[in-house]
Structure formats: structure tokens, C-alpha cells
Structure 1
Amino acid sequence: MPLSRPTRTALAVTAAVLSVTVTACGDTGGLRGAGAAPTANSPARLWPELPPASSPAFDFDEAETKIVKGVTVPGDDIRTVDPVAVVRAEIAADPGDYQGDKARYRGTASRMTDCQEGADGCPVLQPYYRDLTGDGHDDLALGFRLLPGELTAVRVYTVEKHRLVQVMSYEDALSAVELAGRSVIVRSPSEVAGYEYRLQWTWDAEQKAMLLTHDEMLRTGGGTRFPQESPQRSRSPQPSASASASASSR
């Protein structure tokens, strides 16, 4: 017959007392204190006299979504979409970054001319499919190299009202990219020795976008430094229009 909860508790307490007694008898040094416990401190609010901000000073594009023009989704199945066509659509929509002598990523555009997924020299990386939005259908996690340089673009797409919609966009020098549940986790090297950046985007059903929910620097245990090679993090804040106007598996 299983013991009741009060009986089990009483037996456990008795056993613990006997264990302490036996141990104490065999220890000529007796019981020893571990020292004073640290005092728990509640968060201290700094500068409480400052009025709360009414609008953000910088625009991180954290909830920005874009409809991908020129790319159809047959049967609303995102696996039917050509990843190369998706990257070409982005280049066409943003020629300032990809075309012209002064374009930052003109190397990407030039290599996309005869690009086929998986071919040597093609900037488009292997696509991955996962239900990141929780609607029961696959979404697309897509990466492609930004050339010249060491940056990699990470994008997430979903299907909404028969249209392909970009719900996450980020680029950086990458150490790793992971999918976990409804989240995309990006790891990037830090200029501080032994540390890396870890950024996590998570799907938000109200915003219908992947929101940046974690941005932290973690110790990796290594000692490698990136004083010159690591580019500036692409998430460096840019003044928003409002702020400027006011002074802003497979």
C-alpha cells in the first residue's frame, strides 16, 4: 500500500535528522557555518525625475514586413517558391544597395545573373522550411551572401492572403543560425575576446512579424579577437524619420 503524503513527509524528516546526527557524531570538527548569506536587493530605479519617453528615438525596423512583389506562391505552398527568384526580387526592389558602382552589395547582384540554387558561386544558401508562425504551414528561412564582404543576409518569409511576405530581415557576419520553436537565433562574432552576440527573433501573432526578443552578449570561452575583421553590427540604430523631424528541415 502506498504511503500517504503526511506519512512520507514524516519519514523523510526523521531520516534527515538521523543522517545529520550520525554525520555530526563522526565529525570531530562539529557543524560549520557557511557564512553570512548575501542580502537580496531589489532593482534601484535611476533618475526617477525623468519624464517617460513618448516615442522611440531610433527605428530598428523590428516589426517591419514587406510583400514580395513579382513572386507568386502556387497553391499557397511556400515550398513551390524559387529561393533564387526571392533574392532577385529583393535586388529589384532595392537597386541602391545592389546595383551601380557605389552599391554596397553589387557583387551579389552580378553573381545572381546566372545563379541556380546550390551552384558554385551562387550567393543563395540552402533554404530551410519550418512552421515559425504556428499556422500549421511551413515558412521559409532564407540566407544569401552579401558581396563583396563577409556579411550574410537572413530572411524569413510566410504566406499571407496568397502573397509571399517577408517577416524578418537581418544581416551580419555570422557564427551560426538556428531555428528553435517559433524563433530564429543568430550568433555573430564580437570584437570582445571570448564573447559573441546572440540575437533571437520570435514570431508575434499580433504584429504578424518576427520581433527581436533577445539581444545579448555571451561568453564563449574562446580568446579570439576581431579588432578589424568583424564588420560593425548591422543593427546599429539609425534615427527614425520621426526622431529626425523632432531633432530622432528541410
Structure 2
Amino acid sequence: MPVRRPVRSTLAAAAVALLSPTAVACGDAGGLRGAGATAPAVSPARLWPDLRPASSPAYSYSPATREVVKGITVPGGNIRKVDPVAVVEAEVKARPDDYGSKGPYHATVDRLKDCRPGGEGVRCPLLTPYYRDFTGGGRDDMTLGFRLYPTNQTAVRVYTVEKHQLVQVLADNDAIIGVELAGRSLIVRSPANISGYEYRTTWVWDPGQRAMVFSRDEYLHTDNGRHAKSPSPTLSAAPVG
């Protein structure tokens, strides 16, 4: 089960307090005015030079995910010929602790049946698959998204092909309001617990770990100013390929 970011509500509140316009300039009548003499540039000051080195590594956002998907074949090594529904079904089968009757996503199993012919399509949790070369190998990789019930989170998965085997190289579950593809990066947008802010996490391919790893985690202000507690059930990425 993917590991998510630690709770940062206190840090978020502090950030908003520091960025608040009322804390910067009260009673500003508008217009241009001088800010005074420019302070000379000063190199960074090193604090606590005698600080003892840490005895353990920093908190890891999420371990790199790399796993061969059992029971799935890749005809001709072409990932576009892989059945996305079968890929999700394989995950359900391989993870009974998550999708079993007592698992946090148990209701997903029943809805997954509606992804097959004869099912009630509107109940299918699988979102449109997207294809892009993340690894730099010159072939498409596959990004899947599907809703998790009853939590209403969204699962984001990235798969590549190695020696005719389907390999999962990213697994991320979270409350998500959008996913974007930018070059060879995948950006996940999640709601923050403060109105007008959101988290944006960027994942990129790491040749050393042969998996997608996060390269940037941002806490950004949004222009709409609304509290995003109810994420959209759709991905915001555009079709690729």
C-alpha cells in the first residue's frame, strides 16, 4: 500500500500566516513608492556548525514502487495492447489486504465488474488510460487511474514493459483533484486542508531505481480560493499518443 506524505497542517498554517497580505502591509493606499536603499547581498549563514550528523536518514515521502504484474502478458511488447481492466483486476487479486472484504478498498471490487461488457458502465471505477514515454526507451508507458471505494480516493499507477513483462513503476493513492503529464514528468495535484492552497507532487523516472520517484513536492496558492475537500473523480490530463 503506497505511503503518503506526513501531516503538515501546522506547517501549512504557518506558511499562510507568513504569506498573508495583512502581515506584509497594512493600510496600503496603492501606487508606487520607494522601498528604501537595497540591502547588500549576504551569503547564506550556516546555523549550528557543530550540529551532530543525523543518525538516520530523513523521512522518505514514498518508497519507489517496482513490481512485475503477474498474470498479464504484453502482446508484441506493445503496452497499448494490454487490457487496462485486466491490469486492475490483477492488482485486486494480488492484494487481498487492500481489496478483500475487510480491506480499505473492498467496495472497489464490486464496481470493477461494471467495467466488463454487460456491466453498468457509469459505475466502472477505471478512468481513461494515457500513454507516454516516461523511461526514455522510445516506447509508450501506460498511466492508469481508478477510483477507490468507499474512500473515494484515486489510485494512480504507471506501467512499463521489460522483456515482454508488464512492470508497475509507480503506485500512489490519495485524494486527488488533478493529474498532469508534462514531458516525462507526472504531476499529481491534491487538496490542501487550507482554502486556496493545494499540494503538487512531481514524479520522474529514476534510471538507478528503474522506477518513478518524486522529485518535487510543492505547497502552492491557487487563484480560486475555494476549499478543495471534495476532489474531482476525473483526471485532468489530456490524451497522449
If the TM-score is normalised by the length of the shorter chain, which range does it land in?
A: 0.7 to 0.9
Where do 1:100-139 residues align within 5 Å?
Answer: 100=101, 102-116=102-116, 119-139=121-141
* Structure 1 residues 35-46: aligned runs within 5 Å: 35-46=36-47
SS of residue matched to 1:109: helix
The answer on 1:171 being equivalent to 2:176 is: no
Which residues of 2 match residues 23-102 of structure 1 at below 5 A?
A: 35-53=36-54, 55-56=56-57, 58-100=59-101, 102=102
Kindly tell me the number of residue pairs found equivalent between the two proteins.
Answer: 199
Letter in 2 for 1:149: T
Q: Is the 8 A contact 1:176 1:188 kept in 2?
A: yes
Query: What one-letter code is carried by the residue in structure 2 that aligns with 1:66?
Result: E
| Aligned partner letter, 1:186 | V
**Within 2, Cα distance between the matches of 1:158 and 1:54?**
36
Residues 55, 163 of structure 1: CA spacing in aligned structure 2 closer, same or farther, 3 A cutoff? farther
Distance 1:43-1:161 versus aligned 2 partners, 3 A rule: farther
1:11-68 CA deviation, whole Å, 9 max, x = no partner?
A: xxxxxxxxxxxxxxxxxxxxxx873113323333333333333543545433221111
1:140 matched to which residue of 2?
A: 142
Cα deviations by residue, 1:176-222 (Å, 9 ceiling, x for unpaired): 10111111001111111111101000111222111100001001023
DSSP 3-state at the match of 1:108 = helix
Q: Is the 8 A contact 2:114 2:121 kept in 1?
A: no
Alpha-carbon RMSD across the aligned residues, in angstroms, is: 2.3
Conserved in 1, the CA contact under 8 Å of 2:184 and 2:205?
A: yes
Q: Which runs of 4+ in 1 moved over 4 A?
A: none
| Distance in 2 of aligned mates of 1:185 and 1:199 | 6
**1:103 offset after TM fit, Å?**
1.3
**TM-score normalised by the chain length of structure 1:** 0.72
Runs of 5+ consecutive residues of structure 1 not aligned to the other structure: 1-32, 231-248
Distance in 2, Cα, partners of 1:41 & 1:219: 29
SS in 2 for 1:217: strand
- The answer as to whether partners of 2:73 and 2:165 remain within 8 angstroms in 1 is yes
> Could you tell me the percent identity over the aligned residues?
57
